[in-house]
Amino acid sequence: MAQHGDADILDLDATELRALLKARTLSSEELMRLTLGRIAALNGTLNALVSLKDGDALLAEARAFDNTPHDGALAGLPICIKDMVNAKGFPTTKGSPALAGTIAQADDLIVARMRAAGVIVIGKSNVPEFALGSHTFNPVFGATRNPYDPRVSCGGSSGGAAVALATRMVPIADGSDMMGSLRNPAGWNNVYGMRPSWGRVPAEPAGDTFLHSLSTEGPMARSPADLALLLSVMAGPDPRQPFGLGGVDADLTCPSPDDIRIGWMGDWGGAFPMEDGILQICETACRRLAEIGARVEDVAAPFSRDALWDSWTTLRSWKMASTLSALREDPATRDQLKPEVVWEIERGRALGAGDVHAASVIRSDWFRTAADLFDRYDALVLPTAQVWPFPMDWNWPRSVAGVEMDTYHRWMEVTIPASLAGLPAVAMPAGFGANGLPMGIQLIGRKGSDQRLLEIAALYHRHTRWPQERPPHLPPA
């Protein structure tokens, strides 16, 4: 039925696959069979996907789809769900032995929206324990390896999703981002990841829905068009929650390059240590935007690096303590938590109301400062990481460019400006270093400018196409 070779089918973007499925020139069963073949060939080495559903059951689900109308925006597409999110009938371990074996009894909101749009959930994507740290390893499923060099990290916490995308195990994937968890693995795996404006994709309507606004779910894909497709399904307010933004349009219109103003922020005026080669490759990516016709300017550091860090670590630890303290207090689970989890909980529990308020004031000051910058620029650009993918046997980099790291996440400090202010950011492939490893740039916009960022990213993709031009070297499916 398909009009392409088998390998070509898996190389197609989600938007292209959806068109073939809708036209019935490709069957969902055929796509699923190829998907399962690719997973069988690669996942044993890379360990990107976990808790996979039985293959025969998935093929039966795909055949059932082939006998129904193709109405949903994602109908017939296979997808993995990040193992921080509940998908009914699948385990939700969050990479922790404290939760191993926990079977989700219902879909979380974003999974329900994706299922309503027609996806076929094939399994979960691997994460660091409780998604803490940008290196995907945990004591339940083990480590996920980078497809460009299995000896190094794939990043995290959406590392399994990024690897599955890069290797064509899935055409789209969900992720989540607190401190770069969508952006760093996208950059390290030569794919796209989007942290939407906070509130664009509602969190699960459980527990507190007012106070904690650092993390958000978002889409990952191999093109901005696919980001927009998945985000159009995930986004939109939930009436059970007090904050929310409207949806986005799945159809992107590339803007005129002459209308695009880009601010290159580099290493924040020397404040963020960077390994050799990262700034240069990211500057080259900015030049591609300039070559297309955008106006690109250097931007001096607009805010205190120390103030951003102090605000971020206070609010993050406060969030972690409120979320995970029950596991720390339970004798059955307290000794099953990794040291970084314990550190966040204990630090957060030691904070007072005045500490949290002071951190929120700094956050507010930064939001206002950023808003003024966006009067001059459509987007600000930073690297997606301060280091290249590091060896698998490291827990985290202890130093960056000769500067000692004082916490397990300090090396990801470059992601804080967008996260702290709840700003949208699209991670885009920037190219490859002399080491053969990928790096990315963050395209950061004013809150609410998600559509505009996606359109700029689509223009960039049209002239670069890094995921398509330089995929990992893979055996045939």
The active-site residue, picked from 27, 125, 153, 157, is 157
**DSSP calls for 412-467:** GGGGHHHHHHT--EEEEEEEE-TTS-EEEEEEE--TT-HHHHHHHHHHHHHHH-HH
Phi and psi torsions of 131, nearest 5° = 60, 20
CA dist., res. 159 & res. 443, Å (int): 20
Nearest alpha-carbon partner for 196 in 154, 243, 228, 239: 228
- Residue 140 CA, chain-centre distance (Å), reads 21
The closest alpha carbon to 142, from 230, 50, 35, 19, belongs to: 50
Residue 337 phi/psi, 5-degree rounding, is: -100, 140
d(CA 423, CA 306): 19
Place of tokens 């070297």: 473
User: Is the CB of residue 34 less than 8 Å from the CB of residue 6?
Assistant: yes
60-78 as b/e: b if 16+ CB within 10 A? ebbeebbeeeeebbbbbbb
Q: How far apart are CA 107 and CA 86, in angstroms?
A: 5
Compute the residue count for the chain.
477
Known catalytic residue at 51: no
Tell me which of 82, 94, 319, 447 is the catalytic residue: 82
Among 134, 181, 215, 232, the one annotated catalytic: 181
Q: Tell me whether residue 27 is one of the annotated catalytic residues.
A: no
End-to-end CA distance of the chain: 18
Angle 422-423-429 from CA coordinates, rounded to 5°: 125
* Catalytic residue flag (residue 157): yes
Which structure tokens are listed for 428?
């885009």
Catalytic residues: 82, 157, 181
